[in-house]
Structure 1
Amino acid sequence: MNTTIIQKSSSLLLDTVNTNVSEFQNFFQGWLVRQEHYLEELRSALRTCDGSEDEDLRDLITRVLAHYQEYFEEKSRIANYDVSLVFSPPWFSSFERTFLWIAGFKPGLAFRIVGSSVGDMNQEQVENMERLKAETTVEERELDNELARIQESVAASPIVAVAKRGEIPLRDGEYDAMESVIETLRGQMEVVVANADMLRTRTAERVVEILTPAQNLRFLTAVTELQIKIRMCGWQLDAQRGR
């Protein structure tokens, strides 16, 4: 494959990625607006909640969880175009990106938020939460190991050898070999991100199952407040740096 064809292919891929990033950013801006509306609903319900498990409270919790699931679904779509984007998302501030673990929040963070926002769990709830925390920690470690394995395979791949040699144009067959390695790597990274998102979703769902509706109200309010606080701090820091 000659250099002109490679350049045209790269240009077409870049245009596609830019289009998808723009579309996701438009979605994300609307998602953020809806998140702030949900926070107001959560705070309002928190002020009027009397501890009863009424249907309105359950409906609000279901809608908030669906809102977060919508983000994961849209993020999955853009990861299929370019998985590297979700590891350093341009729609996040640099400060927000420091909190990322495999393209999202670490599932174990949920237990810290429960600990700081829900202080009235009974003994059975405490035991169930501790059991879930231990299971989640094991799965986090397994995903960390899988990501490390992929990174090690990259270091030993032909791509690194060619990059170190720094020769252009590529030798016969090297472009196809590099393309094959990149496709394999991309597929492996997509699987890791999908599994991490699945763990995030499953952990949140199981936490919600353990807690009562009134406790979930406090938990989800704390989660949303933390995310918005981190986002606001990130924007302020980026503005101070002139970004």
Structure 2
Amino acid sequence: YGALAAALDAELRFAFEVDVGLHRGGFSSPAEIKALTIPKGLRCEGIMAYEAHAPEIPGLFGGAAKALKQASAKAAEFVAVLGPDQRRILNIGGSRTALLHGSGVANEVSIGSAFVLPKDFDTPGLDGFQPAAFIATSILKALDPVLPGPAAVSRTLQALGLFPRKGCYLYGGKWMAEPVFPKGMKPNGLVGLSSNQQFMGLPAGANVKPGDYAFLRPTQSEAVLQHFGAIAVFSDGRIVEFWPTLPMG
């Protein structure tokens, strides 16, 4: 970056990525930063810390509260080796942790996925958020499903509750998503997943037909949204505009 700044004859601002417990990368010790000589043309603006591990720490080891406290304390150690003019960005947190912080050294938090709340982000710190992004796909076929082979096998499995009496096939499939509508729709292990025509079991009372829409809630955000086109923004009973997503890569 120093060489790039010199080649461009420009000042480049940066923040140090620091490890506060996730161990995914970044500087692991404040001493490492203190020992650095920052090349001419670069200006340190602060640190970027991430503690996505905190909600996953078992209570046996102190749970999320202790992990967040430790992460904040570690971040403060990194801030202490920065000069007063190098502390504009003191960042910590992710969607599942940012709102769990109380007081601390950070002056900003990072939130992304929480704004569309995929299923994996149903955590206590995000109780006030609502899901805002869904996969809508057409129902291609609605039928009384039968497995390949003797019909008696299907009837026996249905009697045992292992295979549905009603089902449908969706356009596409095998997404990182969980079905939410029609109510009670779910995949079946005997048929398996497909990225072409996804089979879904339905409750006995479900009333669907080809051309109806099924809806699924993504379990992740960018990992799913980038596989589709623009997001159709639905408001007051109609699609009001389209929002492009960032490209893959």
Normalised TM-score (structure 2): 0.22
Q: Which has the higher strand share?
A: 2
Q: Which has the higher helix share?
A: 1
Which has the bigger relative contact order, CA under 8 A and spacing at least 6?
1
The structure with the largest alpha-carbon Rg is 2
Normalised TM-score (structure 1): 0.22
